[in-house]
Amino acid sequence: MKNVQIFFVITGLFLFLLPETAFADTIPSRLTTAHDFTTHDQEYEAAIVMDVNTHKILFEKNADELWTAASITKLIGALTFIDRQSAWDAVVSIKEQDEVGGGRLRVDDGATMTIQDLMYSSITGSANNAATALARLSGLGMQGFVQAMNQKAKSLGCTKSIFTDPSGMDVGNTITARELLKIASAAYADERIQKPASTSSYTFKILNTGEAKTIKNTNELLLDPDNGLYVTGGKTGFLYESRNNFVYKVRKSKDDAQSELLIVVLGAYTRFDLFDIAHQLADWSWASYTWDSSLASNLPTPTPTKPTEDPDTTLKSVIINGTLIKTSDSPAVWYVYNQKKYVLLDGVFLDAYFPTTPIITVTKTVAESLADDRPYTFDDGILLKSKSSPVVYYMNNGYLRPIVSASAFERQGFDWDDIYITSQFVLDGYKIGSLVTADSSLNTQLTIR
């Protein structure tokens, strides 16, 4: 939103405050002392950080811009392949026709191995000929496999990303950081991909020669045991056109699933910068947000069950944390967490926090079976205004702080495009705080969007 005129606000209004932040004990909450994320003078094209358990975006930069995917393409290729191939121990061969250049598994034409060995070679070692061999072995033909890759991406909710070959060597493979979250989430949720993506090295034998092969993971954060990270999945990518790309899933420790993150970095200029920025984003997220310790340390993801005589019971069992639901007879949307539902009072919450999260339509019975909790509330640092008023507010510690003028807005370093428009009804649920002037000291700043 541009060129918004802001007027001085008389603060002698009394407004009612919503109850305490509804998700203070369930989703990550931005600390008022947190600073914006900055790197050590390192450049990159795009990045995004998502809390795995709630799907809340903690940071983003250029997350919807298309970028050359490089070898990260292998994740969607792997997902496409495993949809069609279940014989993990089937013996297959690599052919000369699988060679496409770049990093490769160095074996002779006709070398035999298992499907599992090929998958580890593709995901762990990023071998281009292994990824191409998987596509060939799918039985779809190369063109058919690429079409299936794009269909798979669309089924995951990717509307911008395009794939043109299974290895990532073609610069026509393009993704966005936000859509890569969807692909990586699906890939790392399947142990047939997650295990290769979290294995530091893998040794196997070429079956027709007996030669032993050891491949090492291209993810340097996985290889360093002293970096304070517990990596549960990762995939790198590099082309001169894309520079260095990376998507990884990470915890503070093996048992700390509560604050698990999924992080994407695209277009870092050097390999060192790539892993350093990815590490910094994890550290910054854990330092800038709080996860309440009363939560269980390992939030379970329900496993989909077979149809039962009661479809409503089945549907309820697969509604995982972070799901958005609605019923067919009402426009209301709820956020679901731990079998409780939190109403989103306005579409602005979808725009601000769930821009790509699908909304599932459920029966009234399912919706009513989930306990009602308090309304979803705004994070500190967001800029808000109503449709009917020119006043822009800065959310701070649960209070709406009116910004006194356009010059104060700009002096504080705010961006007109970062203002979210909501209904006056939603704003009326908060108390008015002190004015924001050009000289006000603000501890909380906007997440880059």
Tokens standing for 113?
């191995």
CA distances from 231 to 268, 282, 446 (A): 20, 11, 28
In the predicted structure, residue 320 carries a pLDDT above the cut 70: no
CA count, 13 A, side-chain hemisphere, 214: 3
CA count, 13 A, side-chain hemisphere, 166: 33
CA distances from 24 to 57, 289, 380, 448 (A): 16, 11, 12, 21
Is the torsion defined by CA of 146, 152, 155, 161 positive or negative?
A: negative
DSSP string, 210-271: --EEEEE-S-HHHH-TTSS-EEEEEEEEEETTTEEEEEEEEESSTT--TT-EEEEEEEESSH
Q: How many helices (H) and strands (E) does the chain have?
A: 13, 23
Tell me, yes or no, if the two domains 1-18+380-449 and 46-290 fold the same way: no
- pLDDT (tens digit per residue) in 110-158: 999 999 999 999 999 999 999 999 999 999 999 999 999 999 999 999 9
Tokens standing for 201?
């090295």
In the predicted structure, residue 234 carries a pLDDT above the cut 70: yes
Which CATH number applies to 46-290: 1.20.1050.10, 3.30.1370.140, 3.40.710.10, 1.10.150.570?
3.40.710.10
Q: Which of 433, 394, 432, 385 is nearest to 413 (CA)?
A: 394
CA distances from 129 to 76, 96, 153 (A): 16, 9, 22
> Which pLDDT band, with edges at 50, 70 and 90, does 448 fall under?
very low
- Cβ burial of 253 (10 Å; 0-12, 13-18, 19+) is exposed
pLDDT of res. 333: 87
The full set of domain ranges for the chain reads 1-18+380-449, 46-290, 311-372
- The CA distance from 330 to 115, in Å, is 48
Amino acid at 260: E
At 249, give phi and psi (nearest 5°).
Answer: -110, 130
What's the CA dihedral at 86, 90, 96, 97 to 10 degrees? -30
Mean local confidence (pLDDT), 247-271:
93
CB 176, CB 355: distance < 8 Å: no
pLDDT of res. 356: 64
Taking 3-state DSSP, the helix, strand and coil percentages for the chain, each rounded to the nearest 5, stand at 25, 25, 50
Fold topology of 1-18+380-449: TTHA1013/TTHA0281-like (3.30.2390)
- Range in 64-68, 334-338, 434-438 with the lowest mean pLDDT: 334-338
In the predicted structure, residue 65 carries a pLDDT above the cut 90: yes
pLDDT of res. 286: 92
Maximum Cα–Cα distance across the chain = 84
Mean local confidence (pLDDT), 40-47:
85
Percent of the chain whose pLDDT exceeds 90: 50
- The CA distance from 217 to 202, in Å, is 8
Mean local confidence (pLDDT), 93-104:
89
Greater confidence, 91 or 294? 91
- pLDDT (tens digit per residue) in 361-372: 888 888 888 888
- The CA distance from 271 to 279, in Å, is 12
pLDDT of res. 307: 40
- Range in 172-181, 197-206, 251-260, 301-310 with the lowest mean pLDDT: 301-310
3-class DSSP state of 323 = coil
